[in-house]
Amino acid sequence: MKENHNLLHQEKWRIIDQSSTGLHVSALHSFGMDDTLCASVGSGSSPATVRTWVHDRTVVLGIQDTKLPHMQKALAFLEDQGYRYIVRNSGGLAVVLDQDVLNISIILPEQEKGIDINSGYDVMWELIKRMFANFQRDIEAKEIKGSYCPGSYDLSIDGKKFAGISQRRIRNAVAVQIYLCVNGSGKKRGELIQQFYSLGVANEQTRLAFPVIKPDVMASLSELLGVELTVDQVMTRLLWTLKEHAGLLYADQLQGEEIPLFDAYYQRVTERNDKILQAFV
């Protein structure tokens, strides 16, 4: 873990907290933000950055999900349940966001030497382990079969997944993104996605393999740790952990050239999302 420990150590950590403001905007906003910050960090005009974000009652779909044979029925079901949906510009499959799910993006520069894919995942895994070290529970990184958006860096305790990690690389920077199910029922979130795929596949043979969801393998940190955690409390843990690994930790928002850059990236992800989804309207 030595290399990943070093990645956590930065001269400056810039913090952009959108855990409250994100509740009032589309999740597309966050994907435009991370692309903007990749460009800014990758060019050297911004130091390493951590951004936190929360979006309410939204299912973030992967491009593979749009190949479901009965996508219209599956999307209508999400709407009936009071969920919005978007198609993200990075890989993976459907995940659930709500007010009890904290997303963290770590944006790191790649100019000096490349950060390989596993190192990107490992730095986030290391951060989460340090944030919750006082609970003395083993946080594993391995695929949890039956979870939604399964991957080799699913984070779990006692075989139950509470977080998933993804990566996006552009403009000499890498954005490592995690969703943390802080509170609420992991099983209920799993049931939502289980029904989404059930309606979308409708027992048809499909060229692509879609996950068979087992809701019982999903849980929130509050359920797993036996304490009532809030997003604000987890934010505090994040800031204290980063403070231990930084010469300087400071709060910020988009500055200068980042503002028109965000407008351009946000427009790009919005147009792409609309183009993909118009086939199902």
- The pTM assigned to this predicted structure is 0.95
Quickly list H helices, the chain: 2-8, 28-42, 71-80, 117-131, 186-201, 221-225, 231-243, 258-277
Type of residue found at 177: Q
pLDDT at residue 117, as a whole number: 87
Judge contact between 4 and 122, C-beta under 8 A: yes
pLDDT at residue 207, as a whole number: 86
Q: Rounded to an integer, what distance in angstroms lies between the CA atom of residue 74 and that of residue 72?
A: 5
* CA-based nearest residue to 141, from 115, 169, 168, 162: 162
Q: Domain residue spans in the chain?
A: 2-280
Judge contact between 242 and 249, C-beta under 8 A: yes
Catalytic option among 37, 71, 94, 149? 149
- 199 CB contacts (<8 Å, ≥6 apart)? 70, 73, 74, 77
Q: Clarify whether 149 is annotated catalytic.
A: yes
Mode of pairing for the β-strands spanning 10-18 and 246-251: parallel
Each residue's pLDDT, cut to its tens digit, for the chain (281 residues) gives 444 557 888 889 999 999 999 888 999 999 999 999 999 999 999 999 999 999 999 999 999 999 999 999 999 999 999 999 999 877 789 999 999 999 999 999 986 667 888 899 999 999 999 999 999 999 999 999 999 999 999 999 999 999 999 999 887 999 999 999 999 999 999 999 999 999 999 988 888 889 999 999 999 999 999 999 999 999 999 999 999 888 899 999 999 999 999 999 999 999 999 999 998 87
Q: Domain 2-280 class?
A: alpha beta
